Amino acid sequence: MAVDALDTRILRLLIEQPRTSVREYARILGVARGTLQARLDRLERDGVITGTGPTLSPAALGHPVLAFVHLEVTQGHLVEVGDALAAVPEIIEAFSTTGGGDLLTRVVARDNGHLEDVIQRLIQLPGVVRTRTDVALRERVAHRVLPLVESVGRAAGGQG
């Protein structure tokens, strides 16, 4: 889907001021409320905007340890293992990958002992051959999309 200069400005506002009303966004952007709402609806329908809820901190929820656990899976069991991962609350993301493993999970834990318990649970899942764990020490770049939005907007000939 093409993202133009107005879309880029809308997305920037959504990221920078997520609690502002549609009416206020329209005022800030100098467009009609109906125009803004139509753009928002299209961006949601096209999958550019995928959520509107709050971003939560696992650390603030008592899970400050972050690890990336790679899982090697027996051929033909990827779907079953993926489904089983969804039942583990400490797994906050999981992706099929190429390279050294079949699945990459983002795991949070209360402490290192809890992380070990979660890994042991993963190892016991039918179809999991082995795991490899990388513990994150410090976040260097927080999850972000605004630089990408601005880059896409510039490429579309808009002002980022």
> Between β-strands 128-135 and 91-96, what pairing exists: parallel, antiparallel or unpaired?
unpaired
Name the amino acid, one letter, at 70.
H
**Predicted confidence (pLDDT) per residue in 12-55, tens digit:** 999 999 999 999 999 999 999 999 999 999 999 999 999 888 88
Quote the pLDDT of residue 158.
53
Is pLDDT above 90 for 85? Answer: yes
Which domains, ranges and CATH numbers included, belong to the chain? 5-54 (1.10.10.10), 58-136 (3.30.70.920)
* pTM, entire model: 0.84
The number of CA neighbours under 13 Å toward the Cβ of 133 is 17
